[in-house]
Structures are given as structure tokens and as C-alpha cells.
Chain A
Amino acid sequence: MTAQQKISVMINGTMHEAHVEPRTTLADFLRGELALTGTHVGCEHGVCGACTVLLEGRAVRSCLTLAVQVDGASLTTVEGLEEDGKLHPIQQAFVEEHGLQCGFCTPGFLMTVHELLYENPDPSEDEIREALGGQICRCTGYQSILRSVRLAAAKLRNAHVAGSTQHS
């Protein structure tokens, strides 16, 4: 059987080198090897979305990607969202609009919303709902999550305006 393979991967701006068995999923690698337990594991077959991380900026299921496949890649997990101890505007919006109760699904929602809002800063209601279609939440009934995403979009747009004013 294949021995462990060496991989190098940039995660939240830090380079990690590790030896992994090929059958190790990216989710198990993040949690078990690197103790990045913010990435949650729910269904482990791509349905619930709890394990969503950003691979080269794109939201992917870490339970459906093998750790050996991200050799040489750059990842962002929920631990990488905060800046200097301050919550990311998307996280702050989820706090303010009560976009979570138990919090199990939240990391996956945050990463999915991150991809959505950085590609589409002013999404329509339908676009938000479609983007969130692959994330399951069993607490909130989704309405507070939808409000959180709308607030996050507004926060990011305002931050962008403030940022460009500063630079001009």
C-alpha cells in the first residue's frame, strides 16, 4: 500500500508540511493533523456543507477532497477569517443578525458566503438563496442567516468604499 506522502500546503498564510496517507480527506487532515478544528465535519459525503473551506479562493467540500490533492495549494479555513483578533465583517454580521444558534454549520456558511460576496458584492435575494442551497442549518430556519448575509454584503461594500476613499 502507498506509504505516506509528503505535502506542502499554505493554510491561512502559514506554510504547513506534513506526511499523509492518501486516503486522508482534507477535512480530517485539517482537524486531526493540524488541529484546525474550526472546520466541522457533518455528513462526510458532500451534502451538508459544514466542512466547506476555500481552496484557491473557491469554496469546496473538504470532506470530498483528499489531503494529498492540495499539495502546493493555498487554503483558507474559518480560522483565517479574523484579522488581528477582530472578527471578519461576515462573522460580525452573523453575530449581529443571529445567523447561528448551535454554531455547528457556521464555519461552512461563512466560507461559502465569503466566496459569494467577494465575487458578487451585491447579490440578489435569489442569488443568496442559491449560493446557500448547499449548506444545511438545523437551528435557525435560515431567515436570520439570510439577514446576516445581506448585512455582511453591506458591511463589505461600505468597507470597500471607505478603503478606496483612504487610498485616493
Chain B
Amino acid sequence: MKPARFDYAAPDTLGEAVSLLERHADDDVMILAGGQSLVPLLNMRMARPELLVDLNRIAELQYIREDGEWLAIGAMTRKRAVEESDLVRRRQPALLAATRLVGHPQIRNRGTVGGSMAHADPAAEYPALALVLGAELRVVGPGGERSIAADEFFKGYLMTAMEPVEILTEVRVPILAPGTGWSFVEVARRHGDFALGGAAATVRLDASGSFSEVRIVLFGVSGAAVRLGGVEERLVGQRPGDALFREAGATASEGLEEPLSDVHASAEYRRNLAGVLTIRALGEAVARAGGREPGQEERR
């Protein structure tokens, strides 16, 4: 057997799970969602919890609903369910695009929406998507429920704003507003591998064709997914164009703090990639804001 011994509980309801975590507040407890990141850590004994609380039997955490201007997604919803959701395809295509880049089909069959958010891997697609779309994350604990904006939720390498006794219950993703252009791009050696780097962007253009809103997020290039606030500010009010995108790319590249360096790609490679991906994401998002699919020629 690979993992070290642990106690195991698989509550049927969220209420039971919350009280279980409260009772074991002083123990080393880990929450098991889809297990596609945690079970490898258990198998390698990098994680050795005393108690594993498995959320897979909690049916009330698996849903995708339209809720006003939001898509409300239960934390235990499998990524494959997101991929196959007609609601997601119609209401938030960026979520669909990001989901298709997560691992392989076998991983998406088990991996959950909430699991990826709570794990906060720097190369994972979902935290980057949450940041670029301005998602909200609902958590529940002994003190009740609270909602955390994505900008406040992700705290760095594998760290979130959740307390150990809290459970992520719902991810709320804004529905794509008409006129908003988006992009979600990444570079990986094979489709489904961890991204060597990726970028996500959403843009809105005003009547004169200048940027009125821009959000850009890089992931997989440093210790956590990161919003490029400085680049965003400098783009607002400007007219989109290749020269401007290149300038944004250069800023993103130069401004990248502590790029990751590992056997897959050097820090220098990732710094370059940060710029390239910023340029690509802006180009795609602007094309979609103009009603074109990226790659199509602009109509004159």
C-alpha cells in the first residue's frame, strides 16, 4: 500500500462534513474531493493526514445552475460535467475552454471544480479562470457561510483564504456579458499536461474601439496565478493593436516575479513565455470582443 494510514469518513451531507471538521479542528485533517491531486500526494506520502474527509458522497454539492448573472457550480461537480454542460457552453465559453485544458479525460472524469480551486496549484487552469472572470467562492464552516472574491481567495503557492475547518461549497462564475471578449491559452508539451505557462484575458471595448475594461491573468509561470494589474491599467483607454499588445507582453515579461524553474522549463523560458502568452491572449480576446473567432480575418 502506498499511502500512510489514515482515518476515513465519507459523510452524506454537508452538515455532517462541517461538524466533522469542527470536531477534529485540532487534528491533521484533509478534505478529499476528486483526488486527482491529493491521492498522488498520499501515494508519495507527501501528505499524511490523520483523517481524510471524503466529500464524494455529498450529492448536494454537485450541480450547475444559472442564478441571475452567475453560473453557480457545486464544489463537487466533476470537470467532465462542466465540459458536457449545455449551460456552460452557452453562458460562459471561457469556462468550457479552460476545462478542456485540465488534464486528460480520465482526470476530468474524477477531478472537481472545487478541488482545483482549493488546491490552488500554480499551473492549474481554474484559479486563473476564477481570477480573470472575477469569480466568487462560497465556503462554509462552524461560524456559517461566507463568500470570498477570487482576488482575495488565492494567497500564493497552494494557499487560499480558507480556514482549515472550512469547506468550499460553491464556485460562482459570472455569465459572459455580451460584448466581452475572452481568451484562455496555454503552452504544454502535450494536451493535458501541466501548463508550462498560460494566460487568460477578458476585455471590453468602448464605442470608439478603445479598451474600457481589461483583465489579464498569467498562470504556471510563477508561484501562483497572478493578475497583471499594472498592465491592465495601462491598456485601458488605448486602442488595441499589435504594437500595444507587444508593449503589454514586454511589461508582463519584465514584471514577472520569481518565475518558476524546473526540469520542464527554465525561468528564462517562462519569462519569455509570459510575454508571448500575454500577446496571444489579448489578441484573441479583442477578436472575440469584435464578434470574430480568433484567427478569422477582420472584416473591412
Residue among A21, A61, A130 with the highest chain B CB neighbour number at 10 A = A61
Q: Which residues of B contact A22 (CB under 8 A)?
A: 6-8, 52
Q: Chain A residues with Cβ under 8 A from B36's Cβ?
A: 46, 61, 64
> Does the CB pair A65–B8 fall under 8 Å?
no
CB-CB < 8 A to A61: which residues of B? 36, 106-107, 110
How large, as a class, is the contact surface on chain A? 20 to 34
In residues 131-166 of chain A, which contact B (Cβ within 8 Å)? 131, 133-134
B158 at interface by CB-CB < 8 Å = no
* A23/B5 in contact, CB under 8 A: yes
> Given A2-B8, A23-B6, A24-B1 in contact, is the A130-B106 Cβ separation under 8 Å?
no
Majority DSSP secondary structure for residues of A touching B: mixed
> Is residue A60 contacting chain B, with contact meaning CB distance below 8 A?
yes
- Contacting residues, chain B, for A44 (C-beta < 8 A): 2, 43
A100-139 residues with Cβ-Cβ distance < 8 A to B are 112, 115-116, 129-131, 133-134
Chain A residues contacting B39 (CB-CB under 8 Å) are 25, 45-46, 63-66
| B4 contacts A by Cβ under 8 Å | yes
Picked from B5, B105, B107, the residue with its CB within 8 Å of the CB of A131 is: B105
Q: Are A64 and B35 in touch, CB under 8 angstroms? A: yes
**CB-CB contacts of A1-34 with B at 8 A, as 1s and 0s?**
1100100000000000000011111001000000
Cβ contacts A to B, 14 pairs, < 8 Å: A1-B7, A5-B8, A23-B3, A23-B4, A28-B2, A45-B39, A60-B106, A60-B109, A65-B35, A66-B8, A66-B39, A69-B35, A133-B193, A134-B105
Interface pairs A-B: 4 shortest CB-CB: A134-B104, A22-B8, A45-B40, A23-B3
Which residues does A use to contact B, with CB under 8 Å?
1-2, 5, 21-25, 28, 44-46, 49, 52, 55, 58-61, 63-66, 68-69, 112, 115-116, 129-131, 133-134
